[in-house]
Amino acid sequence: MKMKRTGPTNPLLQNLIGELKKRSSEQTVNLWKKVAIDLEKSTRQRRIVNLSKINRHTKENDVIVVPGKVLGSGMLNHKLTISAYQFSEQAKDKIEKVGAKIVPLLELSKEKPDGKKLRIIG
């Protein structure tokens, strides 16, 4: 039996994916298209990243994008800007305690449409 591939049904997520793809083609920047394609995957296939991994692979004042969910396992010990589709409550608390910033994906794509100095983690 052939499985039917379904995309996200959440209208907010569909809108976000559309905006990111539009921004990608306007600016000819593949980063936003890559993020949009990752968000189109089913929930089980989407990226999940713990704070410990973010802490290991980033430096002070980095700007990172997680095309999925950030979980609160581990510690964060430097300030940075994190943009992701979802954050667990524990992750939000730890990020704010360190003084790091949480920026919604759409807002970050408006602030940095060229995608320069951004890193995808996950």
> Torsion over CA of 38, 43, 47 and 52, rounded to 10 degrees?
150
Those residues whose C-beta lies under 8 Å from the C-beta of residue 41, and which sit 6 or more positions away, are: none
50: in domain: yes
Of 92, 94, 119, nearest to 108 (Cα)? 119
Q: What confidence tens digit (pLDDT) does each residue in 93-108 have? A: 999 999 999 999 999 9
Q: What confidence tens digit (pLDDT) does each residue in 28-52 have? A: 889 999 999 999 998 889 999 999 9
Task: Count the domains in the chain.
Answer: 1
How far is it between the farthest Cα atoms of the chain? 51
Q: What six digits make up the tokens of 83? A: 């943009």
4: in domain: no
Those residues whose C-beta lies under 8 Å from the C-beta of residue 82, and which sit 6 or more positions away, are: 54, 64, 66, 70, 95, 100, 101, 102, 103
Q: How far apart are CA 67 and CA 37, in angstroms?
A: 9
Q: Which domain holds residue 40?
A: 11-120
3: in domain: no
More confident residue, 8 or 69: 69
19: in domain: yes
67: in domain: yes
Mean pLDDT throughout 42-66? 94
CATH number of the domain where residue 55 is located: 3.100.10.10
Of 100, 105, 96, nearest to 69 (Cα)? 105
105: in domain: yes
| pTM of structure | 0.89
6: in domain: no
Q: What six digits make up the tokens of 53? A: 């991994």
In which band, very low, low, confident or very high, does the pLDDT at 2 lie, cut at 50, 70 and 90? low
2: in domain: no
